[in-house]
Amino acid sequence: MNVQSILSTKGTAVATIASEATLSDAVATLRDHGVGALVVSDDGSTINGILSERDVVRSIAAHGAPALDTAVGAAMSANVVTCQPADTVDRLMAMMTERRIRHVPVLDSDGTMAGIISIGDVVKFRVGELESENANLHNYIQGRA
């Protein structure tokens, strides 16, 4: 199974924020979308970086409450790890584990953003796979296959 199969179920929407926005804006945007990370993009399509809840926590731990008035661009990760729709879910899981990241934007072959996969999406997908495998084995054992 590949990244495209997850996108087909969850959709292609990506929550973004501009690098000039403040961390306070980012916190509100994370809440409004119910997500744990935002792709940072000044034009809504080109990726400038990624900002996760962890970056906000790190910034507040370092600077206190005034961090909320500083720009997203100063707290984001600028070297963004991405994947492609054809990548396998196993490869994506390995990427998340090795790099210790929980969010990976998906880029089409022409570089356009095609969605974002979170570790929660991967877990949901894997649990679904295991449940249907389990049901198939039960049916097989009981001679219903």
| Bridge partner residues of 107 (DSSP) | 113
Q: Give 98 or 145: the residue with its C-beta nearer to ligand AMP.
A: 98
CB of 4 to ligand AMP, least distance (A): 18
> Where along the sequence are the contacts to ligand AMP (CB under 6 A)?
36-37, 50, 52-55, 77, 79-81, 101-104
Q: How many Cα atoms occupy the beta-carbon half-sphere of 120 within 13 Å?
A: 6
- The closest residue (CB) to ligand AMP is 52
Q: Give 43 or 98: the residue with its C-beta nearer to ligand AMP.
A: 98
Cα–Cα dist 2/30, whole Å: 27
Q: Give 118 or 125: the residue with its C-beta nearer to ligand AMP.
A: 118
Kindly write down the DSSP assignment for every residue of 40-99, as one continuous string: E-SSSSS--EEEEHHHHHHHHHHH-GGGGGSBHHHHSBSS---B-TTSBHHHHHHHHHHH
CB of 19 to ligand AMP, least distance (A): 13
Q: Give 57 or 137: the residue with its C-beta nearer to ligand AMP.
A: 57
